[in-house]
Structure formats: structure tokens, C-alpha cells
Structure 1
């Protein structure tokens, strides 16, 4: 060995890519790429999460009923094809710390993202329905119209339209025009109609009933019969007087309208056999008033029952033009039948 090189240190070349600093740089780049991918995936997922598919047309609505939860509502909008998951709205609701649901029907047209849907359900205006219930409707007829025009289940209504003994609130659901939340709470409808009845019933109702030896409910049965028997307000007080006169004489009322509450007629008429139909509502067989009102009377019929005219009539007949004609004796009544139901006027 050359003496000049004997004590020189040995020099070796480093292997590229193996330095600790280089390894750290490579790892950082990999982490950065993964984070970027994760951020992109998260952003894509979030966009997909908050996106909704707009719905249009007559079915572009969602009903929120009193018993609904955010979970059931989330599933409902998913079923409409609006959201990406049955839980999407529920998750978003939690993220936004949403409060309680408000019942009603909400129109969904024009909504394009989850925030718009959320704001509609939290602070938007639900649809309302304006419904008119004609005088003389029964509770079952009220229920059917409510379902048809206000989206409130007839079955739900019939469950709550009852008193403490479970009897239908026949006679006490005042016929009028109301505005309700569409697909709202049936109990709220009942409360509104009962409240309206309490507002309009004559103030001397109980006193007038007592003067005739009746309860308030019995007087209401009279009003309901007057409602179904008389077409014109001018006839109602005299129709009420006939009912009271017959009750006082313990005569059978013999009214088709009471039987009609449980047995449909044939264009207003019954066969002889049907007049023997066994029911407490058949006043051809059973003395006194029917066991309940037979409809929900209007104000004119309530007033007629409370303040019936004094008369000596015991019979009445509805003429073809709808006006009533009255008689004191059965012979007079028979002549009226012959005259007005045989082509007379």
C-alpha cells in the first residue's frame, strides 16, 4: 500500500432514497394525498347527503301527523324519492339541532337541497283547508267530508268524536265553515266544533228544556229532528210544536227521519215491513224521543226547539215544494196527504 494513502479515510457513496429525511418527505406526501382523497370523498359524500331530488306535480307534498317522529318523516321523504337515504333527513335534523315537528301538509315543489327541506318543516307554513259542514250532517258524514277535503282520517275523527262514555257526539258538532290544518289533528277539529256549539247554543237552553220537563240533551234531540224534518226556517218552530204536543199526549212521534238514522229509505219512503224495523230509533214502534240526536242541527233548529211556537197541531206534512203543511186532527192530515201527495201543490 502506498504510504501516502495509508491513513486516508474510506469514502463511500450514499444510496439514494434511503436517508431518514427523504423517507419523511415521502411519507408526508403519501399522507397528504390520502387526506386530499379523504377530503374529496367527504365533500362528495356531503354534497350527495344534502342533495335532494326535486318532486313536482299533485303528489309533491308530505303530511306530518301528530304521532309522527323525525325518523318516520325521514323515511317518508325517502319513499318520495327525494333523499339519498331513509335516515338522511333525521341525520340532518340532528346536525341542525331541530326542534319538534309541526303537523300539517307541506308542499315540496321547488325544493332542491336538504336545508330548504329542513327550513320548510321547521318554520314553513303548512297548508290549510276550508271545510263547510252543512246543517243536518251526521257525525259520520262530517268524518267523510273531513277526510275528503282536509286529509284528516275519518277513522281517526270517529275515534275522538265521542263523549266520556264513548258515545258519538251527535248533535254537538256545530255545522259551519271552518279552516283546519290539512292532515292535522282530528282532536283539534272536534274541539273547534264543540267550542262553536257552546258559543251559539241559546243562552236559555237549559231553562227551556227544564220548562218542558226535558234535559238539555233531550231538547237537542228535538232540534235534530226539526233539522231533518223542516227544509225552511219558517216551518221549524211549528214542527217543534208538533213534536212537543205529541210527546205531551204520549203519542208515537212516527217520524221517518228518526228511522232514517239507522235504516236508509227509498227516496224518502219506507215499506210497511221496514216500518216494523226493530230499533230504538224507530219512532213508529217506540214512544218518546230517539236515544240520541239524529244529526247536528243548525242555529235555526236550535232556536226552534228552545222557543217553539205554541200551537194545537199534532201532524205535519212536507209538500213537494219542501214547505210544511200542518193539521190538528188525523182527518185533516189524511186530507193533506191526499191533496199534496197526489199531485196537488
Structure 2
């Protein structure tokens, strides 16, 4: 009996111990499950935030361009690695999956100036098009036919620089020398002629310029515009070199055999830009100016008188024509010392490809802007009487 009781007690004790062990195991399993869930959740949340962060720009405040070279034949793996190495993307694998998810794979080899502030969408668009795609912080738009003083006002309106600072910078000899070194075929010693009012007049191409940094230097802003002029003029260099002596009128003894230069082409184009109206054929007017030069006639274009006067008004008076200034083409034969405004490509094209006519005169009717051409002074005066003076008298009577 005692043996049986002892066995029973031992069995009860063993059972209690097994229950205790089972409870301990269940606690361990429960705690382990909790820990595992927490770890999985932590990894998931951490991974989510990491991926979310990697999908954003590396540094939204860093607009400094980084030159990145994408070799021909580069795979997506190598492209994403190059971008990560240059700190353009945070994680190459995340960017790779981004490209795969968006089914992007056709990229252009080349050299790109990318910034850490660019989004993955902007980087992708840049690699697809071969051009850097990025939203600019601000744009500067320079319309055709503006003088430097007018461009200076635009810069003042768009940046923290004043008109005075702009005008001082474009006249700085050291800065001009740096442009001559960078663009030797465009910015020549002709811009430093003592008769020229502003050396870079006509050299800032009319266009819209995007800027991707908050405060670019004035030198950078101006250089962008000169660079655009260089890009426009470069294809015309060959045409300029083909001009022969006499194209700008009788060759003087102190002139070279080929008087045509980039500077003169821009000067000529600026006259066309200022004379042009919406209905004006620049090619015909260019031909008229060449005809006058060939006949050794003064060009007699009113915008040069206004530039000489530094006074801008709708009508040039007879007394204005007497102003003693190198830019006055009523008093001086040939081209003025330099451009009088920023010409667009249409005017540059017309200056180098004039239309061949026998016309020597033209006038634009004040009412409808129509342009009338004449071969002789008598014909020109007759048309002026009919379309300008009579029209003015009729208008006065109606009033």
C-alpha cells in the first residue's frame, strides 16, 4: 500500500512537472512568436521607410551638377551602379526595381550633368531622351530685338542683381577676355572697338533660359546667353567665310580682302531685327541693305539713329538725323560699329542669305504694317506720299 501510494505520488509529481514544463515551453514559444513578429514587423517597417526614402531625391537642396558618363552599351545594372557611385540615387537596387516596375529600359549613352536634387522620374527622363530633364528654379526669357539695358531690366526682375551690376559685368574687360578665350570664333577683338558702346551688345541670344540653382552668378547667366549665340552662329561660320570682298560695299585700302566677320554678321542681323515687322520679309530688306552698301550709299536706318541718341521713341525727326555718332547710319556709310540689339536666328539667316533684288528703298505703312519696296528715290517718295503722309492726313481729318 505504501509502495502504491508512493508510486501514485511520484506519478502526480511527474505530471505536475510535465505541466509546468509545458507551460514554460508555451511561454517560450509565445514570447518567441512575439519577438519574431516584432522583428518581422520592424524589418518590414524599416524596409518600407528605407525604400520610400530611396525613391526620393538624395538631397533636395543640392542643385550642384555632377558630370556622369554613361558609356555606350551600358546595362541597367551598370547605369544604376554609376548613378549610386556619383550620389545621384540613394540605392541602385531600389532604382533598378523602380525602372523595372515602370517598364523603363531604353537609355541613351552620353555625358549628363545630373544633380542630387533630381527625382527618379527626372533622372529616368534624362537617360531616355539624352537631355537633362529637371524642373528649373526660375526662367529668364529674352525676347528678340532687345538692347542690353532692356535685358538688364529683365535680369533685375528675375534675380537679386541690379541693372547696374549687370551692365558693369558685361563691360568688365577680364570677363570679356574669358569669353574670348572660351569662344574665340565668336567673341573677337572687334567687340573692343573704341566706338562700340557695349562690347557684348547683340551677343546675348534671345531665348528662354532655365536655371537650376537659386543664385547663379551674373557671369554664369551671361555666359549661358553667349553660349547660345555661339551655338547659333557656329553653323554659319562657313557661310561667313565664303563672303567675298565688296559684299559690304567698296573695299577700302585698309580693309582685308574678306570684310565679312561674325561681328559684322551680328551687326547686320541686328539692323534687320530692329527694322522687321510681322509682315516684313527680312530677306528682301537684307538684299536692299547689301544693294546700298554696294552702291556706297549710307544705310539710313532709323533704329541706328535712336541707338545713337540713346532715346527710344516712335518717330525719328529730321533734326535727329544730324546726331554726330558712329552708330548714325545717316551720317556714316557702312555698318555701325557693332550690333544695336539682340538678333534672332531669322535675322541672322537673312543677313547671310539675302534675297537678290534691284530694290534700294523700302517703307512700312503705319496703318497695316505692309512693306513697300522701290528701285528709285522718286518711286520711294511717291509711295511715301501715298501710304504714309496721305494716310496720316486722312487720319487727322477723321479725328
- TM-score band, normalised by shorter chain: 0.5 to 0.7
Equivalent of 2:352 in 275, 293, 306:
306
Matched, 1:169 2:200: yes
Q: State the TM-score, normalized to the length of structure 2.
A: 0.52
Matched, 1:235 2:286: no
Report the CA distance between 1:270 and its aligned residue: 2.6
Corresponding residue number in structure 1 for 2:139: 130
Say which SS state the counterpart of residue 358 (structure 2) adopts. Answer: coil
Q: Is the 8 A contact 1:152 1:184 kept in 2?
A: no
Q: State the TM-score, normalized to the length of structure 1.
A: 0.59
Q: 1:266 to 1:197 in 2, by over 3 A?
A: closer
In 1, the alpha carbon distance for the partners of 2:155 and 2:214 equals 10
Matched, 1:150 2:196: no
**Over residues 252-281 of structure 1, what are the superposed CA-to-partner deviations in whole Å (9 max), with x where a residue is unaligned?**
111111111131557422332221111011
Report the CA distance between 1:182 and its aligned residue: 4.7
Matched, 1:341 2:350: no
Say which SS state the counterpart of residue 373 (structure 2) adopts. Answer: strand
Report the CA distance between 1:183 and its aligned residue: 4.1
Q: Is the 8 A contact 1:276 1:285 kept in 2?
A: yes
Matched, 1:179 2:179: no
Q: Is the 8 A contact 2:240 2:261 kept in 1?
A: no
Larger mean CA deviation between 270-279 and 217-226 belongs to 270-279
In 1, the alpha carbon distance for the partners of 2:225 and 2:287 equals 28
Counting only pairs closer than 5 Å after superposition, residues 1-345 of structure 1 correspond to structure 2 as 128-162=137-171, 163-164=176-177, 167-180=198-211, 181-201=213-233, 203-208=235-240, 210-211=243-244, 212=247, 213-232=259-278, 235-263=281-309, 267-320=313-366, 321-344=368-391
Q: Is the 8 A contact 2:308 2:323 kept in 1?
A: no
- Which fold has the larger relative contact order, with Cα–Cα distance below 8 Å and residues 6 or more apart in sequence? 1
Q: 1:236 to 1:127 in 2, by over 3 A?
A: closer
Q: 1:149 to 1:333 in 2, by over 3 A?
A: same
Q: 1:139 to 1:195 in 2, by over 3 A?
A: same
In 2, the alpha carbon distance for the partners of 1:216 and 1:206 equals 10
- List alignment gaps of at least 5 residues for structure 2: 1-115, 119-134, 178-188, 193-197, 248-258, 393-399
Relative to its length, the structure with more helix (as a share) is 2
Q: 1:234 to 1:205 in 2, by over 3 A?
A: farther
Say which SS state the counterpart of residue 261 (structure 1) adopts. Answer: helix
- List alignment gaps of at least 5 residues for structure 1: 1-122
In 2, the alpha carbon distance for the partners of 1:147 and 1:298 equals 22
In 2, the alpha carbon distance for the partners of 1:233 and 1:199 equals 27
* Root mean square deviation of aligned Cα: 2.5
Report the CA distance between 1:203 and its aligned residue: 1.4
Corresponding residue number in structure 1 for 2:109: none
How many pairs align?
A: 223
Report the CA distance between 1:341 and its aligned residue: 0.7
Say which SS state the counterpart of residue 157 (structure 2) adopts. Answer: helix
Corresponding residue number in structure 1 for 2:124: none
Q: 1:232 to 1:205 in 2, by over 3 A?
A: farther
Say which SS state the counterpart of residue 285 (structure 1) adopts. Answer: coil
**Over residues 66-116 of structure 1, what are the superposed CA-to-partner deviations in whole Å (9 max), with x where a residue is unaligned?**
xxxxxxxxxxxxxxxxxxxxxxxxxxxxxxxxxxxxxxxxxxxxxxxxxxx
Q: Is the 8 A contact 1:208 1:307 kept in 2?
A: no
In 2, the alpha carbon distance for the partners of 1:178 and 1:216 equals 23
In 2, the alpha carbon distance for the partners of 1:335 and 1:206 equals 41
Q: Is the 8 A contact 1:131 1:149 kept in 2?
A: yes
